[in-house]
């Protein structure tokens, strides 16, 4: 067993940390308060290769693996989880769906500019009536004139207003249920395709979460992504990788909340001494650090397995159980750690003067997005019971 990051991975962490602290850190509060989408920072992240982390260099990517990708998302989330989420939805959902299931022509046309950071992507599975039960998709795509016409609406799409390329799921044959849902690539500007209502959220307020609407939206036949009817099944595979990014997001937030708690505990004095001198506070910090470490091990093991699955060349290699476990555990640890971070800050933790308040709000997404904690438990149990 090997628990060491390579020199390159350590250097990558340092580079992303410096970028996050210098380019993002000073703006985090303002972006959150005013729901400002950090377009310039995302462009700079693109220049660093962070928008193409897991894609080969010949397609404009950085040619890195899932371990490096987890490092990137963790370090971004440690400073601003909104930026982490924007980068995650772009990489492991939208671009990866096209990379994994697209034709050579689709990869060249879409993956290259997405991986280079010249375009931004979004991925639309969830609908108002189809959340955890995504197989209940109602958006439809009908064959017409050699292409497809999409009608329906998606909800909660990360990057919905800013994406140039959307991967959207729609029913192509209702009689086939889960095997009657297909994926499509829809470009911004396609008539009948528009972003809808932007959500006013509890946290992650600098990220954009929106409806996307299809009203008689014509897409050419070549924009069918993957085999007809396999869009839902392919989405589940995409979520295996996506869940590693949400685990990393939770890990980064937990790490950020823990670090600001240590700083505060050393500096805040009550009863004539730093609160870090009180055993009750020390125990909280010890529990936080221990849980973060356990979450880190699960997350990076899932990332390592994802890299091994890719290296094996076996298209059927799955990491469903491990990525769900990492997402479930890291997400729930992040919520607990952020809760304790506010507690350690006392009344000041309830104000926007310290980062604990924002972590407390942002972190809740980790037990909801890309499958709620309840759904992760269902997925894990199914794997355990061989169902």
Ligand X SMILES: Cc1cc2nc3c(=O)[nH]c(=O)nc-3n(C[C@H](O)[C@H](O)[C@H](O)COP(=O)(O)OP(=O)(O)OC[C@H]3O[C@@H](n4cnc5c(N)ncnc54)[C@H](O)[C@@H]3O)c2cc1C
Beta bridge partners, 166, equal 122, 186
| Residue 89 binding ligand X, by CB under 6 A | yes
| Per annotation, catalytic residue among 23, 277, 370, 374 | 370
Tell whether the torsion through CA atoms of 42, 4, 66 and 89 is positive or negative: negative
Smallest gap from residue 84 Cβ to ligand X (A)? 12
- Alpha carbon distances (Å) from 355 to 33, 246, 261, 362: 13, 20, 9, 11
Q: Is the Cβ of residue 82 or residue 261 nearer to ligand X in the bound state?
A: 82
Q: Any bridge partners for residue 185, and if so which? A: 167
Nearest-CB residue for ligand X: 131
The one-character DSSP state at 50 is G
- In the DSSP assignment, the letter for residue 56 is -
Question: What DSSP letter does each residue of 111-166 carry, written as one string?
Answer: IHHHHTTSS-EEEE--BTTBSS-GGG---EEEEETTEEEEEEEEEEEETTTT-SEE
Q: Please, which of residues 104-163 interact with ligand X by CB under 6 A?
A: 123-126, 131-132, 156-158
Q: Which of 55, 337, 371, 376 binds ligand X (CB under 6 A)?
A: 371
In the list 285, 289, 368, 380, the residue contacting ligand X (rule: CB under 6 A) is 368
375 near ligand X, judged by CB under 6 A: yes
Two tokens, residue 309:
């699955």
Instruction: Please identify, using beta-carbon distances, which residue of 159 and 261 lies nearer to ligand X.
Output: 159
Q: How many CA atoms, within 13 angstroms, populate the side-chain half-sphere of residue 113?
A: 12
Residue 46 C-beta: closest distance to ligand X, Å: 18
Which residues within the stretch 45-84 sit at the binding site for ligand X (CB under 6 A)? none
Shortest Å, Cβ 15 to ligand X: 26
- Does position 365 interact with ligand X (CB under 6 A)? The reply is yes
Q: Is 370 a catalytic residue?
A: yes
127/307 with CB nearer ligand X: 127
Residues in contact with ligand X, shown as a per-residue x/- string from 183 to 222 under the rule CB under 6 A: ---------------------x----x-------------
Instruction: Please tell me whether residue 372 binds ligand X under the rule CB under 6 A.
Output: yes
Tokens 């990869």 found at: 107
- Say if strands 269-270 and 273-274 run parallel, antiparallel, or are unpaired: antiparallel
Determine the size of the site formed for ligand X (CB under 6 A): 21
Tokens read off for 77: 């989330």
Give catalytic residue positions: 370
Instruction: Catalog residues that contact ligand X under the rule CB under 6 A.
Output: 89, 123-126, 131-132, 156-158, 204, 209, 365, 368-372, 374-375, 378
């Amino acid at each position: 067993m090997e628990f060491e990051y390579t020199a390159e991975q350590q250097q990558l962490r340092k580079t992303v940390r410096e970028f996050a602290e210098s380019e993002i850190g000073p703006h985090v509060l303002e972006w959150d308060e005013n729901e400002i989408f950090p377009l310039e920072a995302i462009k700079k992240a693109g220049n660093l290769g962070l928008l193409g982390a897991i894609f080969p260099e010949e397609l404009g990517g950085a040619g890195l693996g899932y371990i490096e990708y987890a490092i990137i998302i963790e370090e971004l989330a440690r400073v601003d989880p909104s930026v982490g989420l924007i980068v995650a939805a772009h990489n492991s959902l939208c671009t990866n769906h096209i990379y994994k299931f697209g034709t050579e022509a689709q990869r060249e046309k879409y993956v290259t500019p997405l991986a280079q950071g010249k375009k931004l992507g979004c991925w639309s599975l969830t609908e108002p009536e189809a959340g955890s039960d995504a197989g209940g998709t109602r958006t439809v795509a009908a064959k017409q004139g050699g292409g497809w016409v999409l009608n329906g609406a998606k909800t909660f799409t990360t990057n919905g207003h800013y994406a140039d390329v959307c991967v959207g799921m729609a029913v192509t044959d209702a009689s086939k249920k889960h095997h009657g849902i297909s994926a499509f690539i829809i470009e911004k500007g396609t008539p009948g395709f528009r972003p809808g209502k932007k959500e006013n959220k509890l946290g992650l307020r600098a990220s954009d979460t929106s409806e996307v609407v299809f009203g008689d939206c014509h897409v050419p036949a070549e924009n069918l992504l993957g085999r007809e009817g396999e869009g839902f099944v392919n989405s589940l595979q995409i979520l295996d990788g996506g869940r590693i990014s949400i685990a990393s997001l939770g890990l980064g937030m937990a790490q950020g909340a823990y670090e600001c708690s240590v700083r505060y505990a050393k500096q805040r004095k009550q009863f004539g001494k730093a609160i870090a001198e009180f055993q009750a506070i020390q125990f909280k910090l010890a529990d936080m650090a221990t849980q973060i470490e356990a979450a880190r091990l699960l997350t990076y093991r899932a990332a390592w397995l994802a890299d091994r699955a890719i290296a094996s060349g076996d298209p059927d290699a799955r990491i469903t159980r491990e990525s769900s476990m990492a997402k479930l555990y890291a997400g729930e640890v992040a919520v607990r750690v952020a809760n304790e971070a506010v507690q350690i800050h006392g009344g000041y933790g309830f104000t926007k003067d310290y980062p604990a308040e924002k972590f407390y709000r942002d972190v809740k997404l980790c037990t909801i997005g890309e499958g709620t904690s309840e759904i992760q438990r269902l997925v894990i149990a199914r794997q355990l019971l061989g169902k």
